[in-house]
Every structure is written in structure tokens, then in C-alpha cells.
Amino acid sequence: MDFISTTEVLIAGAGPTGLTLACELARRSVPFRLVDAALAPFNGSRGKGLQPRTLEVFDDIGVVHDVLTSGALYPRFRVHAGPLSIPLWRMSKQRTSTSDTPYPNLWMIPQWRTEEILRARLGTFGGAVEYGVALTSFNQDEDLVQAILTRTDGAVEQVHARFLVGCDGGHSAVRKSLGLRFEGEALEGQRLIAADVELEGLDRDYWHLWPLAKGCVLTLCPLPGTAYFQLAAPLSTRAPAPEISEDGLRSLIAAATGGRVHVKSVAWMSLYRPQVRMVDRYRVGRVFVAGDAAHVHPPAGGQGLNTGVQDAYNLGWKLAHVSTGAPDGLLDTYEAERLPVAAAVLGLSKRLQRTTPPRRGKETQQLSLNYRDSPLAQDTRHVPGSLRAGDRAPDAVCVDRNGVPTRLFDRFRGTQFTLLAFGGAGTATSDAVRSVRVVDDRQAAGADDVVDVHGSARKSYGMRSSGIVLVRPDGHVGLFGDTRDVDGYLQLVGLA
């Protein structure tokens, strides 16, 4: 053994899930290591669709501006069949932002760019990815995880970590070492070629589709902010797979387009069979799994990357709280909350994979996913038909005491709990809670308060009189009730 080091959290895998978790820990000053066996960052577009809920997560982390400026709405389809070329539908209806939903649309951005943005944000917190460092084995006891890391130069390091999180993808070494069942199936008869290709002879205004291509259905989608198209070609079960090489892709595209479109370069390519699988547990002792290590999705619906990011967003604040003294039982709520969500989303992905045409609606946006059955969801004054504890905390357009437009999301942004006090309800005394009074008169507003000039905050939260809403650091409602209920809830999460 060359040397031994210690850290609070060891994260294996630096894709979107691992990077999100690292950002969550770094901005809370929790010591961590983020390692990845790959020698360099992933360079493909694979998970290119970010759902509205993930955009809200990225708003909180501080990267949504870069994500929006690097991406675009999905274009309309254009179907080609011989001499015919017909513009058709969009994958999803374009929606206008509302008071409670500032990011209403599916957003397209290549996965490599999403990861690049997250790495840059991690760097502002003083963190970085250690590439070429593989987690080769680990064991755990009641006090810590002992992990072995092996570098590409053969150097071996032992790491003592309080916790280990496997964000290491569908072939997760962490999941396999834990012996977790990975239940589900490969979708028989379905294979898919994916690649990023630079082309000549094709406009970038549409998502182009050749349904009658020999041996497959060929689609070419322009990737915003790049010179590339994402090629996706579900293969016919009756035809042999084309050669997965630059020459093979050139032949495929030339044949489908009648020689009108030519390949200039290929940045990335892959052949895979869609899988629908998930674990039966998210936690074993001091070790957790997240993202593709816990669930793998077929590409339809754009759920996989997004679900992984939200796994990390859920786990990050809980690891940070336990690291500073909160009860260990708080970490059990990670599995209690995220496992049912993954199961529901996986069922949706499987259904959408078999749906034609590939249109997407509100069910894929992940805004309605909730933790209502969680031990961290407490309703003491629920109004039937209104928002409930465990639901996503909606945004609302208000003004500050100077009349400047502001949003509730501006108050939620950060690492703290946020208490919304309506109608003269009292505020919190804990330093871990930001108290925000929702008032009707600017003269009564303090520095952190908001003035609900349009009534949108009361409407979004179903608050007809006085009361409080305690919003968790991950933007879900923890408590609906009165001020007297707050201390009990803070004790539950180790903040009182």
C-alpha cells in the first residue's frame, strides 16, 4: 500500500450524478473525494434532455444560466421518405413560464456540456475530479469504509471514508460489491446505435428522421452549441447491425439519405441494448448507490440522467447534515424517498420506449414527483386539494420591500431550510433556517421577506390564512403547519 488518506465522503463516478453530489457537498464544506476510472471526461451527447425539475435543481446549484445559454428547445421533426420531406410535430409542446414554474420546457444540451458546466461549478467551490483513479475494492464496519483506489500508473491508495457513494454507472462496481439485486430486463429485440457526427448537406433547423432507412430508423438531431448532430438509429430485428465504425456510419447515412448527406467526422459512437433495471436497496450500511448504479432507463422520455441528478440532490444535504451531527437515521430517508420515485419513473420510461410517435407531456417533466409518504413529510393543517408536504415547493413571482420583482426560488437558493410564514405566522429561531415572511404590504416587509402583490404565493401554497411552510434544502415541502410545529421538525432532521 503506497499511502493512506481520509475523507468524509468518497464518490465513485464523475458523471452528472457524481458531479451534482460533489457540488452539493462542496458548497456545504463537507470533505469529499470524487474519483473516476476513466482517463478523461465523457465526450458524447448521450443524455441530452434536461427536464424542468432538473433545471430547477441547477438553478439552486448556480449553473442554470450556463445550461440555458449552452442549450436550446428541441426542434421540430422533419420526416424524409424518398423525394418527400415533411416538417411535423415537436417532441413536446412548448410552454410559457408561469409564476410557479419558471422552466417549463424540456431543454436540449449535450451530456458532455452538462458535465463540463458542473465540473466548472465544482471548481468554484474548490473541488475537482480525480480521473484515472479506479475504486477497486472496499469493505466497511460500523465506523468507516475502507476503500482501495488504483491509479493508472499502478499506485495504490487506501482511503478511509465515513461514507461511500457509488455513482459509477450501469456496470457499477459498488453495486456489484454490495451484492444488490439489479432487477428488470433488457428490452428484447431493441438495439440502438448512438453517435455524435459532424455532417455536410443537412440543415440544423430540424430533427431529421428517415423511417425507411435500410435496417433501421435513422434520426439526426442538431446539438446546440456544437457542429455535431446526435445520430440515433434503432435497429430492425430482421437486419444485421451495421458496422460500428466511422466507415459504417458513413455508409448508413449515405444509404438513408441517397448520398445527399456526408460525414465529416465522428466524435463518439456506441451500440447498446436498452435496459429497464433497478436495485432493491439504495443503502447498505455506510455505502449508497445513485444514478445509473441504482437504475438504468431506456432513452425514451429522457428520464435517466435527470433521475440520477435528483438522487444526488436528495442525498447531498442529508450526508452534509449527518456529517455535522444530525442522526444517522436521516440517511435512511434517502432510500425511502428515492426508491419509489425510481420505480415509478422506470415504469414510465419503459412505456414511452414502446410509444409512437415520441411525444412527451407533463408526465415526463418530473415536477409532480413527490415524497408524500416520507417520514420527513409532515402535514398538520392540510387543505384538501392543495399542495402537500413532500411535494415540490413551487415558485411564485413577488416583489421585495423596494418593489423590485423577486421569486420564492431566490429565497430558497442555498443550502438552508427556508420557512415561509404567511399571514403573521411566527418565524424560526434556528440559524439553519432562513425565515421569509410572505406579506401583503411593502411597508411591513423585511430584508428577506417577499410581498405577494399578485397573490401567487398564497395560491401556489393553498394558504388562505396564517400558517407556515418549511421548505427543505432540496426544494421539497417538509412541513405544513403552525410555528409551534417547527421545533419538532427541526429535531427530526437534527437541527434543534
Q: In the prediction, which pLDDT does 355 show? A: 65
143 and 290 together in one domain: yes
Q: In the prediction, which pLDDT does 239 show? A: 61
Question: Distance between CA 52 and CA 147 in Å, rounded?
Answer: 36
394 and 482 together in one domain: yes
Does any domain span residue 28? yes
247 and 287 together in one domain: no
Local structure of residue 140 (DSSP, 8 states): E
Q: Which of 273, 299, 331 finishes a domain?
A: 273
| Pairing label, strands 287-289, 283-284 | antiparallel
Q: Which of 273, 302, 321 finishes a domain?
A: 273
Candidates 169, 211, 147; CA nearest to 38 is 169
Report the half-sphere exposure of 381 (CA within 13 A, side-chain side). Answer: 16
Does any domain span residue 369? no
Instruction: Give me the number of domains the chain comprises.
Output: 3
What is the number of other CB atoms lying within 10 angstroms of the CB of residue 478?
Answer: 26
Report the half-sphere exposure of 236 (CA within 13 A, side-chain side). Answer: 12
332 and 356 together in one domain: yes
Question: Distance between CA 18 and CA 174 in Å, rounded?
Answer: 13
Q: Which of 364, 395, 421 finishes a domain?
A: 364
Query: How does pLDDT run across 366-410, given as a tens digit for each residue?
Result: 899 999 999 999 998 766 667 999 999 999 999 999 999 999 999
E strand or H helix that includes residue 412: helix 408-412
Does any domain span residue 371? no
Q: In the prediction, which pLDDT does 56 show? A: 98
Does any domain span residue 441? yes
90 and 215 together in one domain: yes
Q: In the prediction, which pLDDT does 87 show? A: 87
Residue 422, φ and ψ in degrees, nearest 5: -100, 145
Does any domain span residue 327? yes
Residue with cell 437486419: 239
Question: Distance between CA 366 and CA 395 in Å, rounded?
Answer: 15
179 and 289 together in one domain: yes
170 and 310 together in one domain: yes
Q: In the prediction, which pLDDT does 347 show? A: 82
CATH number for position 314: 3.50.50.60
246 and 217 together in one domain: yes
Q: In the prediction, which pLDDT does 229 show? A: 98
Domain of 336?
3-42+49-71+109-183+278-364
Strand partners, 80: 85
Residues of the chain with pLDDT under 50: none
CATH number for position 221: 3.30.9.10
Local structure of residue 237 (DSSP, 8 states): T
265 and 283 together in one domain: no
Does any domain span residue 370? no
What is the number of other CB atoms lying within 10 angstroms of the CB of residue 459?
Answer: 16
Q: In the prediction, which pLDDT does 356 show? A: 59
